[in-house]
Chains A and B, each alone.
Chain A
Amino acid sequence: MSSYDEQRLARLIGALPPAPEAWVRAAQELPGARAGIDEIVTRAEADAAFRRRLIEDLEGALQAEGYERDPALVEELRVRFRSK
């Protein structure tokens, strides 16, 4: 069993400062973002015109359809639709 003096404990507690809140929140919201991506992909698979618009102008198409243009979501869709 390890032994801990106050100085060592203090150092260990201090070694893990909190990550920036915004980063943590963004990571916590991943499931919702994934659901949004899945919904767009499913819709694009079923709707050729929507898919074409996404490929031609991804961000414009998302805006026109009222989807939030979160950078991570846009990047993932860009990869999925190969529309660079």
Chain B
Amino acid sequence: MAQALSDTELVARCRSGDQQAWAELVERFSRYVYAISVQAYRLSEADAEDVFQEVFTRAYQHLDGLRDDSALRPWLGQLTRRLCIDHLRASAREKPVAEEELEPLEAQETIALLDEALSVHDALAGVPEHCREILDRFFARDESYRTIGEALDLPAGTIASRISRCLARLRDLLEGRTEAVPPSSPR
């Protein structure tokens, strides 16, 4: 999850054929693309998988055409959105649905929330690794205290206080009260 390269650097490396950079790009945006399709457009898992693969296939094919490398995130977001609507439109041909169902009003609100969530997710790269891991396991992976305790070799009774401390660190970072730790730093 540590984010050593900027999006611009990542795009440049992908263009030069760096497969590791491509793997990092997919990893960095996989949650965002997935969340747009299942949360904003409520696609089924099968349709979401089609969209997910299509987004990254098109991104790979058209990365050279991206005019502003720093605009990778909105580009991928827009691509995902368009493909989700195409999927809904294709389904609508078989079973007609109202036009507003193709692009529900809540979708825009959800995408705005996901944009903010991705910024927070990026900021997690600036907190110590143990914080990243515990916050991700508890909130994003929905793991129980017991599972987290076993995985990280921590007493389950200490998990809640650690989560609280790590949230405070993340909040301080987001609000500019502390500096980010260097990538891959254990503390």
Contacts and interface: CB of A to CB of B under 8 A. Distances in A.
Contact of B35 (A5, A6, A17): A17
Contact of B142 (A4, A12, A17): A17
Interface string A1-30: 111111001101111111110011011101
Nearest to A76: B57
Given A16-B114, A72-B53, A6 B167 contact: yes
A32 interface: yes
B88 to A, nearest CB: 19
Given A6-B171, A13-B124, A18 B141 contact: yes
Interface of A: 1-6, 9-10, 12-20, 23-24, 26-28, 30-32, 34, 72
B31 A32 contact: no
B26 A27 contact: yes
8 contacts: A4-B170, A9-B171, A13-B120, A13-B140, A15-B35, A23-B30, A27-B26, A30-B60
A72 B39 CA distance: 25
Given A6-B171, A9-B120, A28-B27, A16 B53 contact: no
B135 interface: yes
A38 B176 CA distance: 48
Nearest to B61: A34
B49 interface: yes
Contacts of B30: 18-19, 23-24, 27
B85 interface: no
Nearest to A23: B52
Given A6-B167, A16-B35, A17-B35, A31 B60 contact: yes
A30 B62 CA distance: 13
Contacts of B118: 16
Interface string B49-85: 1001100110010000000000000000000000000
A83 B130 CA distance: 53
A26 B53 CA distance: 8
Interface in B128-182: 135-136, 139-142, 164, 167-168, 170-171, 174-176
